Structures are given as C-alpha cells and as structure tokens.
Amino acid sequence: MTLEHLPALQVMVPLAAAPLIVLLRHAGFAWALAVAASLFAFGASLALALEVSRAGAISYAMGNWPPPWGIEYRVDALSAFVLVLVSAVGALVAPYARRSVAAELPREQHYLYYAVHCLCLAGLLGMTITGDAFNLFVFMEIASLSMYVLIALGRDRRALLASYQYLILGTIGATFYVIGVGLLYLATGTLNIADLAARLPEAQATRAVLAALAFITVGVSLKLALFPLHLWLPNAYAYAPSAATAFLAATATKVSVYVLLRFYFTVFGAPLVVDALPVPQILTGLSIIAIVSASLVAVWQADLKRLLAYSSVAQIGYITLGIGMATRDGLTAAVVHLFNHGITKGALFLLVGGIALRAGSVDFGRLRGLARTMPLTCLGVTLAGLSLIGVPGTAGFISKWYLVLGAIEAGQAWLAALVVLTSLIAVAYVWRFVEAAYLSEPGSGTAVAGEAPLAMLAVSWVMVAACVWFGFDTSFTVQGARRAAELMLGAAP
Amino acid sequence: MPAFASHYTYWITVLLMAAGLYIVVARGNLVKKLIGLSIFQTSVYLLYIAPGKLIGGTAPILSEAFKVYSNPLPHVLILTAIVVGIATLALGLAIVVRIREAYGSIEEDEIVAADRDAGDRE
Amino acid sequence: MKREPVLRVVGKLLIPYMLMFALYVQFHGDFGPGGGFQAGVITAAAVIFYALIFGLPAARRLVPEALVETMVAAGAFLYMAVGFAGLVLGGNYLDYFVLDPDPVAGQHRGIFWVEIGVLVTVSGVMLKIFYMFAGRGRAV
C-alpha cells in the first residue's frame, strides 16, 4: 500500500510534521520529529528514483480525481533527481541544526525553527513533485514564506532587512509566475503541466503564450537569482542562521532551476523556446555576466558567508549557461551542476556554521590561523573549495567537464574556454580562505574554543565526502542527469 | 474602438499592476512598499476572474433553468492566491515591526544609512 | 474604551451575531460565497472587536495565547488527518470518495471536516497576529 502512495507521502510527511511540532512545543521533540520527517522524505525520494529508473514516470492523482481535472503528482527522471538532492540536504541539515540552532536562537524559538524547516522542506519537495502549474505556485509560496521566516531568525539585525528585501522581490517573482500561468490558462483552458504541453502547440506563438513565457521566465529568474535579479541573495545568505543558510543555499535556487527547466522543455517545448526565440542567447549572455561579475565581487568580500553567497550567484550562472546551450550535453551539465553545486555549497555552509559557532563570526579577520585550532574544518572547506573551482577528483570537475563538452557540441568553443578561465577566478577567492586559515598568524581577535562539535563536523564531512565521491563515481549523477536531459529534449513528458 | 472599450477589465488590470510595481520601487517607506505589493497582487486577481465570467453565464451552481455557467475554477485559484497574499502581507508587516524595534525607523534610506555607519565603525 | 456606554452595549449586541454569521458563512460555502477562510476571519474579527472595546487582557482571558497557538496547529493537522483518513480507507491521499459508502456523501463529509480545519487554523492565525502586534510595547 505504501509504495503506490509514496508520491503523496513524500510531501505530506514533512508537511504534517510541522503542525505536530507546534502542538508538542518541546525543543527536543521538535528536533527529533524534524529529523524523522527528513529521513523519511529522503528514503521516499530514493525509492521513487529507483522506481522511475526501473519503470518510467509515475503519476499520482490527488484525491482520486483523474488528471487533468484533478491535481496530479508526477515523478519523472528530472523531478526524481531533484527530489533526491533536496531530501538528502534536508536529511543532513536536520541533525546538524541541533547545535547550530541552539547557539544562534533563543530557546523559546527552537521548536518554531524546526517547524518552519519542515514546512520549507515540504514546500520544496512539493514544488518538485507536482504536475499542476498552480499547485506549483502554492508550494512555491509555502517554501518561500518559510524561507523568509528562516532568514529573519538570524542573530544580526541586518537579517531582518535582508528577509524583507527577499520577501518583496520573491513575492514579485511569484506573482509574475502567477500572471504567466494565468495567461497560459486563458490560452489553453488547463493547468495540468502535461496537458498544457499537449495543448500549447495549437496556441503556438500567439502573443499571450509569448507573454506567458516572458512572465514565467522573469518570475522564476527572481527566485533562482539569475543576474541581474540576484540582489537579495548575498544579504539573505550572509545574515540567516547557519543551518538555514546551508539548507537554502543547497536547495532553494536549485528547485527554481527545476521549475525553469520544466516550463521551458516540458510545457513550452524546445522548438518554441530554443529554435524560434532568442532565449538561449539571452540566457547565455546573462550567465556569462553573472559568472564573471559575481566571481570577481566574491574575491573582495570581507566576510566568508558573503563570499560564498556571491560564489553561489556565479555557480548558478554556470547552471543557466548549460541550459542556454540547450544541447544534450549542455542540459546534462546543467542538471549535474545543479546537484554538484548543491552538495558543494551545502558542505561549505555547514562547515562555515561550525566556524561561526566556535569563532563567533566569519569575518576574515577572525579566520586568521584557523587551521591550528580547527584543522578538520579548514581541510573540509579547502576540499569543497576545490570542488567549487572544478579540480579533477571533485564533483565540480564533472560539471565543468560536461559544460565544456556541451559548448563544443553546440559549436561554441569560446564558451568552453570561458568556463575554464572563470574557474581561475574561483581559485582567487578559495585562495583567500586558504591563505587566511593556513598561512596567517592568529590575530588578536581569534580566540577559538577548538574544533566544531562532533555532530556538526560529522554531517559536514559526509557532504564533503560526497563532493569527492561524486567526482569519481559519477554513475548516479551523470546517468540521472543524462536521463533527465534526454527526457527534456525528447518527445512526451 | 468597441474592442478597445470592451477590454476595460484588462486596462484596469494593467493600470493596477503598473501602479503597484511603481509604489514598490519608488517609495522608501517599508509599509508603503508592502501596500504597493498588495495592489500589484490585486491586479492579478482581476486578471484571472474577469475572463472567467461568461456573457450570459450565471453562478456556477447546477440548476435546470440555466445552460451557461461562469467558470468556477478562477474563483478557486484566486481564493488561494488571496490567502497567500494575506500571509505574505502579515509576514512582511511582522518583519517591519521588528525592523522598527531594531532600527527605530521604517524608512529604507535611514536603515541603510544606519547599517553603513555601523559597518564603518566596526 | 469600555467606559463608553454606546460602544459597550453595541459590542455586546453585535458580537454574538458576528459569530453566528461566521458559522453561517462556514456552512454555506457549498452553496454560496463562503467557506472556512472567510468564516475564520469573521470569527477572529469578532474576538478582535471584543479586544478593542474591553481591552487586550480581557480578550486574553477569553481566548488564551496557548489556545490560539494550539488552534493554529490543530486545524492544519485536522486537514491533513482527513487526507490520511482517505489513505487509510483505501483511496488516495485526500480522497473523499471513500469516506462514506456513497461517494457523493463522502465528498460532503470530506469537505465539511476540511473546512472546519481551515476555520480553526485561520481564526487562530488571525488572532495570533493580532495578539502579537497589539501586545508589543508602546515604547516604540
């Protein structure tokens, strides 16, 4: 009985955990429930991914109303891949959060933090699994509102303004998305994604459909922090609680990339988006600006979290660069980098959370000589930094490799050269950390109480190990991404 | 001219959309930005509901006497969207209350200046 | 404000009718404009009206903070419990058809309980927001 209802349980178990946590109100139980729900979600996503790779796409009718009348949950190669990433990060951050949240939030708020974490996880999972365009908006707002709350819980008062700015920009983005879906509904009469894909060719390239494409692009780009709509990201990541930043950096923008892919290739279809419209060129141009400018800005940051936030904007540029190539290898690269960047940034922010716990802040002044007191953490950051750069032997290299292959396949060798050159800028900002931690003398402000707590360190190192593992064993990531890319470029959803 | 005039709901939608976005961008007061956001969201509700009414259509309750019904789906969608909008507004106002307590002001330029001064002093 | 005789009397006259109207709107969601969200807001408005006239401490005695927080979570949980009931009884999640031997009656039953969950949560949330905003210090 359970396996056939797994698509519903995937989202509903974390979602049901949230009010349960609020009812129980005890911080310890709250954490335990959050961990249990996240682990269940991870197990469910693995089972679904296995089933999809074996038997093809799964469709689940909510409330037993057959699609397209009712809301349908649809797990195919692309959504199963993203589900595994999101639930894996959620399952790792939940146990980690115990020490981190205890250090950064007052005790009365702990159970609320875990409730909102479960809501955010449910929202992100729901966004990925749903097959209905308006249901996607509902889950998008569940996830976004939870994210605004998570960010506003930060210690620094600047977290409040960061959350407010993200709220304004994020709500504008979501409303643009709703406008786009409304125009699509007016043009076709349906909200089901598969049904939209079937009916859109008749309404092809009318002004309403083109306007819908434009609105959805801008709306989702606000959520995925594509240049120039990325202005909310550095502040939000820098001032949020460390566990929240780790969770958001690894999942929020990735799910928005998934939404973009879903709409471009399943709903509108590659013939309209890639061949008839200059969308790939626009995406490529914006991605290049994002990569170069954000990487350069990252080099000059005074704060490690802000540096990593700008690095995120640049890495998202790589993902959209892969989408802009719109070839099989390009899309494979985009989906692979979605996963690899998720685990890399997740690992980095988890480790930085440990530093924040012990050192009090992550200002570069505080980090001088950190390697003496926190050797394992600094080694982890260095390894994950190598993955950011794309050194062979790490997950980041696999993404860059496929980006280069995709560029060559698209006949644009200069893009391949660009990918390699911009990785050198990443060397500059990773080197800043290495220099401060390993090669500097501890200054006056660096009174550090030793290595991070074991629970936090263990979880962070699981992520770091994943960065290295997926650099060597690419069967899951590359095959999953390739299947997703072929699905998108192929025939029916 | 008739087509232009009969699309008056769309003109109102566009006007509200533009007005809402302008307020969000042009006003520095945090509460006013939220009000602009609400106006922008209201225009979207109109975008969905106005085309749902069919000419000669009645309320979507089954009855022998009527053959043409207005579309009930946009109403359901907009109920959901209104609730989401209210939740966003409530959350935004809660954040503004806390900003007021932390900074003493709800004008964006004053808050940014306060952060800059605090950053210079660090 | 409770010294004002007009406000006090009118308040005492109106509040029961507001609550009655909220229940009317709740149960007529099937046949006319209404449903859980609207009814929840009207219920909360009645309690907020009481708080405005008779003071926040009196309202807090009437509807305590702990009850409000429980309402917020319990309503959402009730909604999801109806969904899980559909699972347990053999249908899909949120399947109302299996809640009763007659599928149409099952739909009625499912929507009835789901809307009650919505009523409880929405009125709880609106009251919580009011308590949070009104209860903050006036020194700001």
Nearest CA in chain C to B101: C140
SS3 B69: strand
Phi then psi for residue A303, to 5 deg, are -130, 135
Closest C-alpha among C62, A149, C60, A181 to residue B94: A149
pLDDT of A448: 66
pLDDT of A2: 65
Instruction: Determine the structural domain holding residue B54 and report its residue range.
Output: 3-121
For residue B94, give the CATH number of its domain: 1.10.287.3510
Question: What number is the average pLDDT over the span A187-216?
Answer: 89
Secondary structure letter of residue A72 according to DSSP: E
Report whether pLDDT(A492) > 60: no
Task: Give Cα A188 distance to the centre of its chain.
Answer: 31
> Could you say which of B61, B83, B104 has the minimum Cβ distance to residue C37?
B83
β-pair partners for B58? B69
Question: How far A145 CA sits from the closest chain B CA (Å)?
Answer: 7
Chain B CB within 8 Å of residue A163 CB: yes
pLDDT one-digit tens code per residue, C77-89: 999 999 999 988 8
Report whether pLDDT(A491) > 60: no
Are residues A44 and A128 in contact, defined by beta-carbon separation less than 8 angstroms? no
A95 prior amide bond cis, ω within 30: no
Report whether pLDDT(A493) > 60: no
CB contact under 8 A, C37 and B101: no
Let me know the angle formed at the C-alpha of A351 by A129 and A315, rounded to the nearest 5 degrees.
55
Question: What number is the average pLDDT over the span A162-178?
Answer: 96
Comparison of pLDDT for B23 and A456, the residue scoring more? B23
Using an 8 Å CB-CB cutoff, list chain C residues near A25. Answer: 69
Question: What number is the average pLDDT over the span B14-26?
Answer: 95
Question: What number is the average pLDDT over the span A304-313?
Answer: 93
pLDDT of A447: 60
Report whether pLDDT(A59) > 80: yes
pLDDT one-digit tens code per residue, A347-379: 999 999 998 888 878 888 888 888 888 888 899
Whole-angstrom distance, CA of residue A153 vs CA of residue A436 = 29
Chain C CB within 8 Å of residue B100 CB: yes
Comparison of pLDDT for A207 and A446, the residue scoring more? A207
Question: How far A64 CA sits from the closest chain C CA (Å)?
Answer: 6
Report whether pLDDT(A137) > 50: yes
Using an 8 Å CB-CB cutoff, list chain A residues near B91. Answer: 145, 148-149, 167
Whole-angstrom distance, CA of residue C6 vs CA of residue C23 = 26
Closest C-alpha among A97, A105, A82 to residue A30: A97
Question: pLDDT band at residue C139, thresholds of 50, 70 and 90?
Answer: very low
Mean pLDDT, chain A, integer: 90
pLDDT one-digit tens code per residue, A77-108: 999 999 999 999 999 999 999 988 888 888 88
Nearest CA in chain A to B107: A161
Nearest CA in chain C to B80: C37
CA quadruple A399, A401, A405, A407: dihedral positive or negative?
positive
ipTM: 0.94
Secondary structure tally for chain C: helices H, strands E: 5, 0
Listed by start position, the domains of chain C span 5-135
Closest C-alpha among C66, C47, C70, C43 to residue C58: C47
* B 14-33: CB under 8 A from A: 21, 24, 30, 33
